[in-house]
Every structure is written in structure tokens, then in C-alpha cells.
Amino acid sequence: MWTDNETDQDLLGFSIHAELLRSIITDPKMLPVTVGLFGDWGGGKSSILKILQRELEQDENVAVIYFNSWVFEGYEDAKSAILTTLLNELRDHRNLKNIIGDETKALLKRVKVMDLLKLGASAGMAYFTGNPLPLLMSSVALSADKTEKNDEGATDSEESTPNKLSDLLKASQDSIENVRSFRSDFQKLINKTKLKSVVILIDDLDRCSPERLIQNLEAIKLFLNVEHTAFIVATDRRIVENAIRLRYSELFTGEKGATTGDSLVTDYLEKLIQVPYTLPKLAPHEVRSYLCMLFLKKYLQEEVFQEVLKKYVTFLTTERYAAFQLGNELASIEDEATRIVVSESMRLVEACSEAITDGLKGNPRQIKRFLNAFWLRRELARVAHIPHLKDHILIKMMVVEYISNERFDDLYQWHRTSDDGTAQPLLELENAESSEDIPEKYANWGTPRLWRWIKAEPRLASEDLRDYFWVARSALSDTLSGVRLMTQAMKACAGELLSKVEPERRSGVSLFNSLTEDEQVGVLGVVMRHAMQDVMDDTALRSLLDLAANNHLNGAEAFSRCIDRIGAAKLSPGFGITLRAFKAETGNRASELVGQVRDKLAKSETNVGRALLNKRKQ
């Protein structure tokens, strides 16, 4: 099996991205700079940081520090944690020992004893970023303060408000001066190192809570972003934008507020991160090369693999649009058993790389996990004495299982109704000239990805699928679930959609808009499970309605399935009141589907049905 850890061994051809980032962060004309290395969960961001760290550690004119934000998630003060950690790392760096000890000690003492990180920090951020969001939040808090009760039970008078405003302004000015002083002393420390560049690599930021994520970014901008410094922040851009939106959600209410909020969120992110770089997804030929290298690393001896790796690195510098292939190396493998298994693996890569690329969207981590699940199922077939299982058919079956559990269940039901284990309806699908020609009863198979799966080799309509389903439905049937582990964006979105706080649910809908098709399916699965597990809590159903109101047909379909499975009798009158307020729009498929569900419920002799009818009688 293959390990699922980040590595500085480049099997993806990502050294080119690392080299590009290195050229930015070591260019004196670019410093100080904060680079955002944006990409999906499992897309290779951490591996690029590891490659960068390895390369930069060989440069005596550069100090590089790796900081894992997630490790300090539990600390009370995230800003203090990042400042303390980075100062300690600088002090103990091999190039800086006995050079900046006194300066580091003085700054560490200030972090501990001063209220530097809390006193009027919002004004400090507004001042140093040029964005009003943090200061506006202070104004919101001040406005809310007006309604607080005093000791005698009366509300605060108008006379007390100027005093509070004066205190806020004084605290803000003190904070700005404190930040200036800290930055000045930190700059002197950096200058004393005589290094060309101090590079801080920040990983796993998107695993932090929204509040901690913002605190870490603001600590960088406020206290550490001085001359000769460079920060590379590896994260999912959607998570950062959502954290900003959630942190300042009180400011964005109503349609106008939401529009203004998007603009402010974008502006605030641009102030925090000056150079955004989005990691591209792997192309089909790159997935083929990656699969090839994974199999070679698994089966070849280390010294032989290192030789192949050198050839692979050279290949990547000259070929951008072709997949890596073995040449004489295959024939030179002395062990016959190893040579046979490597040959079979290379043929498997050729046969299945396109299906894996399309099914898993070229995500390196998901590819590894998919291969691990494939290996487990193949081993199960071996120990169960099923020798005729074909690898390329097994992989194609696993791809559709990954794409859609519902369509995989369709195949399962089709093969059960036949005498020979074939899924006969597949023949109609495979013979269709285009997705538009798919019969209406199989309309759910007409999505672009499923259509490409249908047409991909091998064709399955004439295959006996019983053994393949036996492997999939065995005790190891959950092995593929690891491939679909929730990304940080999915976790954040699902959590917000299930929140009882209205601004958080609105933020969840906004985040849902930015998710990929696969991620949306995963989030909807979580929301649906919550809806059906606790029918007394209609939060999940309300969120599905919100998604349908935002033209998400998959949200409306999930809502319809939930209602069917829960049953009208278990729905509360209160939910009926919510549903009858939904505005169905003609021509909008999502809206029309919810309207059909509502009409069906209104005809039921249930509490929710009567609640819906009451509105119509008024």
C-alpha cells in the first residue's frame, strides 16, 4: 500500500512550482511578501512546502522555518503562539545561533507581558491593511454596547457613549504604537542576521477554526511582515474567504450587504496575501506519470527506483505534454517476479488512468487512497480464490462507486435481477449516441461525468458483475470511503449549513457555491443524514431549502429525497410554515421541484399538510 504523508520526493513534477515560488521569495525586490499557495485538499501543497524547505536549507543566505498552524489550534491565543514559535525557531536556527539571542529574548518577553495582541487590535489591522473591516467590527461592538444594562438596571445613557468611543480610540492609538514598536524591533533583529531572506512556510492553515485562521494571518501582517521576510501560506482559498466572511458576518446583512461584503472580503484577502498562486490540477498525462511512479516506488528496490526517479526528473524538464514511460529499465529488472508485476502495473496504468483522472479530478491524495482501496479489494479476491477478477473492470466499478453511490446502487440492483450477473440496462446506456439520447427512466445517468464513465473502456453491459459486487459489498466495502474523506472546505460548509445561527447558514450557502461537484455531493450527504437522524430538528431541511432557493438543483433533489424518506407524518407544523413561505419560480428547476414536494405534502392528512393548507385558505 501507499503512505498518505507529504514528502519532498517529487513524484508529481511539482518542483517547477517550488522553483517559481523560490524565485519570488528570494528576490530582494519582492520582499517583504506574503504568498498564498492555494489548492484543494490533497492537491500537493504540503509536498511543495517540503520541497521548498529542502532546497532553501541548502542556501546559507536564507533561513527557512516550517510552521504547522494546526498544531497550535488548541492554544488560547493563536497570535501569541505563532509569534513565540517563530521567534524561538529563529533564535535556534543553525545559521543564527549566538547572533540574535538577546534581541529574540527581548521580543519574546514583550509577547508574554504586553497586552500587545488584544488591546485595540482591530484598529491596528485596519491601519496596517488599509481595510476598514476590523475597525467596523469595533463599531458594531460599540453600538451593541449601548443597550447593556448598568448596575441600577437602566440602559446606558447617551452621555456614556462618548466615553466609550474615547476609550476605544485611545486603545486603538496605543495598539498602533505598540505594533509599530514591535515591528521596528523585529526589523532590527532581521537586519542583524545579515540574511538575504527569512522564509516562513505556513501549512495546514485551512484546518484551523475561522477565528484562529484570521488571527494567524493578522499576526503575520501586523507584527512580522518586515523587510527581508517572506511568508508562503498553503491553504484552500475558499476556506480563507469563508473565514473572513464569517468573522465579519455582522456587517453583511441583506442583499446589498452581501454584495458589499464580497467586495470587502476580496479586498481584505488581497491586503493579507499579496501574491496568490493557485496550484493547477493534474492533467491526464500527469496522472498517468504519477500512477507509473507510484507503482515503481512500490515494487522496485530503492537504489533502482532512485535511478528511475533521476530519469523521471530529467524527463519533466523536457516533456510537458506526454506521460513518462519505462524503457530499458523494465528489461533490466533481474527478478522475474518483480519484472512481471511491474509490467502488469504499467499495463493497468495505461488502461485505467483516464477513468481515474476523470473520476478523481486529478487529486494526488485521492489517487493514493483509491489505489489503496483497489489493492485491498484485489487482495480480498486473491485470498477468496477469485482468480478471474479483471483489474480494469474492478477499477471502473470503483470509479462509479466514487462518483455516485446512488448510481452504483443502480448497477447493484440491475445485476441482481439478471440470471447471469449482467446489468442489462447498461446496454441501452452504452448504445446511446449522446447523453441526450439516454431514456427518460435513466435520466440520472445523463450527467457529463457519468456519460464519460459509460463510454469509457471497458464496456460492462456483457460482464458478469457478481464477484465484483461481492468484493465491494464485503466487510471491506467501506475502504472506498477513505477516498471521499471530507475536505476542510466540505467540513466548514457542512458545519455552517447545520448551524442554528442564521449568519452561519448564509455563509454555508455562499461556501457551497464555491465547492466542486464532488464536494457538493459529499456535503449534501452529511446534511441529509442529519435531516433523517433527527426529524425534530429541521435545521438541515431549512438549509436544503436555502440551497434550492439559490438555484442548486442538487440541493432541491436532496430535499425531495429527505422528505420521501422521513415521511410527511413525521414533519412538524412549524416546518410547514417555513415551507409555505418558499417562493417557487416558474422555469427554475430547483424551485419547481420544491414546489412539487410542497404540493404533495399539502395533500397529505398530516400536521404539516394542514399547516400548508391553512395558508392557502387565508
The answer to the question of residue 3 being in a domain is: no
Q: Give pLDDT, residue 333.
A: 73
Q: Which residue has the higher pLDDT, 71 or 235?
A: 235
Q: Give pLDDT, residue 322.
A: 78
Other Cβ atoms less than 10 A from the Cβ of 278: the count is 12
Task: Give the span between the Cα atoms of 307 and 397, in whole angstroms.
Answer: 35
The answer to the question of residue 7 being in a domain is: no
Task: Give the span between the Cα atoms of 454 and 458, in whole angstroms.
Answer: 9
Residues 290 and 336 in one domain: yes
Residues 452 and 521 in one domain: no
Task: Give the span between the Cα atoms of 323 and 296, in whole angstroms.
Answer: 14
Are the CB atoms for 465 and 411 separated by under 8 Å? Answer: yes
Residues 526 and 433 in one domain: no
The x, y and z cell numbers of residue 194, run together, are: 545579515
Residue ranges with strand state E in 334-474 = none
pLDDT exceeds 60 at position 460: yes
Residues 86 and 49 in one domain: yes
Q: Give pLDDT, residue 41.
A: 82
Mean pLDDT over 456-469 rounds to: 89
Q: Which residue has the higher pLDDT, 261 or 380?
A: 380
Helix, strand, or coil here: 104?
helix
Contacts of 303 (CB under 8 A, 6+ apart): none
Q: Which residue has the higher pLDDT, 118 or 543?
A: 543
Residue 201 has phi, psi (to 5 degrees) of -100, 115
Q: Which residue has the higher pLDDT, 3 or 368?
A: 368
Task: Give the span between the Cα atoms of 296 and 326, in whole angstroms.
Answer: 10
Kindly report, residue by residue over 78-107, the tens digit of the pLDDT. Answer: 677 778 888 888 888 776 777 888 888 888
Residue 543 has phi, psi (to 5 degrees) of -65, -40
pLDDT exceeds 50 at position 324: yes
Residues 464 and 556 in one domain: no
Mean pLDDT over 457-469 rounds to: 89
pLDDT exceeds 60 at position 160: no
Least confident of 82-91, 136-145, 462-471: 136-145
pLDDT exceeds 60 at position 252: no
Mean pLDDT over 371-396 rounds to: 86
The answer to the question of residue 392 being in a domain is: yes
Sign of the alpha-carbon torsion through 354, 360, 362, 364? negative
Closest CA to 186 of 99, 72, 261, 100: 100
Radius of gyration of the chain (CA): 29
Residues 95 and 58 in one domain: yes
Contacts of 406 (CB under 8 A, 6+ apart): 444
Residues 180 and 216 in one domain: yes
Mean pLDDT over 171-200 rounds to: 78
Give burial (CB, 10 Å; 0-12/13-18/19+) of 470. Answer: middle
Residues 411 and 445 in one domain: yes
DSSP letters spanning 476-526? TTTGGGGTTPPPHHHHHHHHHHT-SSHHHHHHHHHHHHHS-HHHHHHHHHH
Residues 343 and 387 in one domain: yes
Q: Give pLDDT, residue 304.
A: 80
Q: Which residue has the higher pLDDT, 121 or 220?
A: 220
Residues 494 and 570 in one domain: yes
Mean pLDDT over 329-354 rounds to: 76
The answer to the question of residue 566 being in a domain is: yes
**Half-sphere exposure of residue 68: CA atoms within 13 angstroms, side-chain side:** 6
Q: Give pLDDT, residue 544.
A: 93
What percent of the chain is modeled with pLDDT above 70?
Answer: 80
Q: Which of 227, 257, 278 is the last residue of a domain?
A: 278
Are the CB atoms for 281 and 38 separated by under 8 Å? Answer: no
Q: Which residue bears the cell 488548541?
A: 74
Residue ranges with strand state E in 252-312 = 275-278
Residues 417 and 326 in one domain: yes
Read off the pLDDT band of 69 (50, 70, 90).
Answer: confident
Q: Which of 427, 451, 482 is the last residue of a domain?
A: 482
Q: Give pLDDT, residue 352.
A: 73
The answer to the question of residue 474 being in a domain is: yes
Are the CB atoms for 326 and 346 separated by under 8 Å? Answer: yes
Read off the pLDDT band of 251 (50, 70, 90).
Answer: low
Can you state the angle between helices 502-514 and 237-247, rounded to 10 degrees? 160
Task: Give the span between the Cα atoms of 80 and 218, in whole angstroms.
Answer: 11
Read off the pLDDT band of 402 (50, 70, 90).
Answer: confident
The x, y and z cell numbers of residue 153, run together, are: 438596571
Q: Give pLDDT, residue 144.
A: 45
pLDDT exceeds 50 at position 617: no
DSSP letters spanning 186-232? HHHHHHHHT-SEEEEEEE-GGGS-HHHHHHHHHHIIIII--TTEEEE
Q: 283 vs 35, 347, 363, CA distance in Å? A: 24, 19, 10
Residues 503 and 465 in one domain: no
The answer to the question of residue 17 being in a domain is: no
Are the CB atoms for 73 and 209 separated by under 8 Å? Answer: yes
Q: 588 vs 510, 543, 561, CA distance in Å? A: 19, 18, 18
Task: Give the span between the Cα atoms of 184 and 187, in whole angstroms.
Answer: 5
Long-range contacts of 68-76 (CB under 8 A, 24+ apart): 68/203, 68/204, 69/202, 69/203, 69/204, 69/205, 69/207, 69/208, 69/212, 69/213, 69/216, 70/203, 70/204, 70/207, 70/208, 71/204, 73/207, 73/208, 73/209, 73/212
Mean pLDDT over 200-205 rounds to: 88
Domain span at 267: 26-149+160-278
Vertex 559: Cα angle to 553 and 561 (nearest 5): 105
The total of structural domains in the chain comes to: 3
Q: Which of 261, 278, 295 is the last residue of a domain?
A: 278
Q: Which residues pair with 234 in a beta bridge?
A: 37
Kindly report, residue by residue over 510-539, the tens digit of the pLDDT. Answer: 899 888 887 888 889 889 988 888 878 889
pTM: 0.72
Q: Give pLDDT, residue 429.
A: 92
The answer to the question of residue 501 being in a domain is: yes
Read off the pLDDT band of 559 (50, 70, 90).
Answer: very high
Tell me the range of 71-80, 253-262, 359-368 where mean pLDDT is highest.
359-368
The answer to the question of residue 328 being in a domain is: yes
